[in-house]
């Protein structure tokens, strides 16, 4: 594999090594940021962007899932048909529905917009299922819940 792929693999390794440390996370983030700076739109750059969103939302000290939302949205905007962007779109949908630091109330309208952009079978199914369950969980619009659940399992 090329140098970019090797650097991506090393960064991914750093995020998966046990025990994970602040230093290894910082090293991974720096490597990923360099890869994105070189080319944010190729396979390596897109994967690096996805992993940077994971770092922001899960791995960094004091990470908050909401911190990943802008990066996931930007990735979906930049590479709307890429599988990682689509997968990130499902995560974004869940954040819009359940993450209280983004909004006191679930943002059904924004989540609906994200789900409309999911074109791959798995992410589209998962997005519709998430929206359907959220409508039921929050006891909102049972007909919308039914429509999404039917779309998820069609």
Residue 147 — very low, low, confident or very high, per pLDDT cuts 50/70/90?
very high
What integer pLDDT is reported at residue 19 of this predicted model?
85
Query: What is the pLDDT at residue 36?
Result: 97
Q: What does the block give as tokens for 6?
A: 């090797």
What is the pLDDT of the chain when averaged over all its residues? 94
Q: Which of 44, 21, 17 is nearest to 32 (CA)?
A: 44
Binning pLDDT at 50, 70 and 90, where does residue 70 land? very high
Cβ(110)–Cβ(96) below 8 Å: yes
Decide if pLDDT at 143 tops 90. yes
d(CA 125, CA 24) in angstroms, rounded, equals 35
Tens-digit pLDDT profile for residues 92-101: 999 999 988 7
Q: Is the pLDDT of residue 17 over 70?
A: yes
Q: Point out the least confidently predicted range of 13-17, 97-101, 149-153.
A: 97-101
The distance of Cα 45 from the centroid of its chain, to the nearest Å, equals 15
Give the pLDDT band (50/70/90) at residue 59: confident
pLDDT at 1: 60
Residue 106 CB-density burial (10 A; 0-12 exposed, 13-18 middle, 19+ buried): buried
Average pLDDT on 1-20 reads 91
What local confidence, expressed as pLDDT, does residue 62 receive?
75
How far apart (Å, rounded) are the C-alpha atoms in residues 103 and 84? 25
Rounded Cα distance, 22 and 62, in Å:
11
Radius of gyration of the chain (CA): 17
Query: In this structure, are residues 44 and 35 in contact, taking their beta carbons and an 8 Å threshold?
Result: yes
What's the whole-number mean pLDDT along residues 121-145? Answer: 96
pTM of the predicted protein model: 0.90
**Separation between Cα atoms, residue 88 and residue 73, nearest integer Å:** 8
Residue 60 — very low, low, confident or very high, per pLDDT cuts 50/70/90?
A: confident
Question: Which residue matches tokens 């791995």?
Answer: 59
With both helix axes pointing from N to C terminus, report the angle between 121-137 and 83-98 in degrees, rounded to the nearest 10: 0
Reference 96, options 45, 46, 135; nearest CA is 135
């Amino acid at each position: 594999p090329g140098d970019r792929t090797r650097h991506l693999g090393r960064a991914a390794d750093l995020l998966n090594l046990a025990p994970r440390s602040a230093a290894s996370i910082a090293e991974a983030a720096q490597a990923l940021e360099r890869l994105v700076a070189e080319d944010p739109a190729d396979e390596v750059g897109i994967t690096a962007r996805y992993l940077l969103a994971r770092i922001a939302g899960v791995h960094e000290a004091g990470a908050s899932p909401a911190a990943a939302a802008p990066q996931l949205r930007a990735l979906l905007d930049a590479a709307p048909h890429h599988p990682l962007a689509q997968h990130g779109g499902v995560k974004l949908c869940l954040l819009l529905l359940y993450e209280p630091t983004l909004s006191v109330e679930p943002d059904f309208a924004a989540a609906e917009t994200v789900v409309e952009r999911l074109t791959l079978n798995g992410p589209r199914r998962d997005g519709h299922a998430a929206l359907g369950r959220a409508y039921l969980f929050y006891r909102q619009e049972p007909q919308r819940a039914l429509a999404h659940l039917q779309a998820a399992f069609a």
